[in-house]
Amino acid sequence: MSTIASTYSPAAGAAARPAAASLAAHKDTQLLARLTGLFFLITYATSIPPYVSMYVPALSNPAFVLGGGFDQVVSWGAILELVLILANIASALTLYPVLKRRFPVLSLGFVTARLTESAFIAIGIVAVLALNTLRLHGVPTGADEAGLMAAGQALVAVHDWTFRLGPGVVVGVGNGLILGWMMWKTRLLPRALSILGLIGGPALLVAGGAVVLGVIEAGATWQAIATIPEFFWELGLGLWLLVRGFTPSAVTELERSGSASTAR
């Protein structure tokens, strides 16, 4: 008993507890990193099919609303975009506890930008589902086809502008400038990857602003080119975080700075 008592050091036990707590916090941060990567990749998987195929009949054919029954493919596209909204918000919530240690205001700004983007997407979903409702009921008795098609085209215009303002403008601010800047400063990702965000954000904003002002048409070649850096920034971010997580040395530095801020 005396041997056990003599070898036990309260100071050593006290020193081990902060080390264990730091290791647990580090693991939690890396878990958040991988969840963020997963959510970013889910946004890709859920945003592309509606845009390139599922919504095409409803958005490109003015006669879509004249009848023919409920289009389930369009509705499945809406469901995918609902999942997209959830993944958008989830990716902001998993990053916020990490980035607020260094950027309490900007990290909240990123969450706000993600929510704003999701709100635009939600309005677009409502517009598409309204098109499906018009198609289900067809031409009312005593109404003319031209009037119904005009109503349908108005809903298409609403959907198009939600896309141009949400993914076309807000993403440049949130995912591009704000997130790219925070990742650049914290070095949680390789800086070569963060540069894509710092390039893609302004490029997307300029192109989106040009569309809003009518300088270029939506989907024009210049806008497509401006989208490329942002596309690969978000895709690279998702893949890197899912596979590799945050840079360990950067996580340690971020936790140290966060602890110092709390102590002050």
**Mind listing the pLDDT tens digit for each residue in 114-123?**
999 999 999 9
Q: If phi over 0 gives left and psi between -120 and 50 gives alpha, with beta otherwise, what is residue 17? A: alpha
The token pair at 17 is: 């507890």
pLDDT of residue 68: 81
Contact 216, 168 (CB under 8 A): no
pLDDT of residue 147: 86
Q: Which amino acid is at 262?
A: T
pLDDT of residue 249: 92
DSSP state of 166: I
Helix/strand/coil for 12: helix
Whether the predicted pLDDT of 103 surpasses 80: yes
Whether the predicted pLDDT of 261 surpasses 70: no
The token pair at 192 is: 């070569």
Distance CA 167, CA 199 (A): 16
Whether the predicted pLDDT of 5 surpasses 60: no
Contact 182, 103 (CB under 8 A): yes
Q: What is the pLDDT of residues 205-260, one digit of tens each?
A: 999 999 999 999 998 999 999 999 999 999 999 999 999 999 999 999 888 766 55
Mean pLDDT, residues 85-105: 96
Closest CA to 57 of 132, 168, 146, 138: 132
Helix axes of 145-165 and 104-137: crossing angle, nearest 10 degrees: 170
Band of the pLDDT at 17, cuts 50, 70, 90? low
Average pLDDT, the chain: 89
Whether the predicted pLDDT of 6 surpasses 50: no
pTM score, whole prediction: 0.87
DSSP state of 187: T
Distance CA 175, CA 207 (A): 15
Q: What is the pLDDT of residues 145-182, one digit of tens each?
A: 888 899 999 999 999 999 999 999 999 999 999 999 99
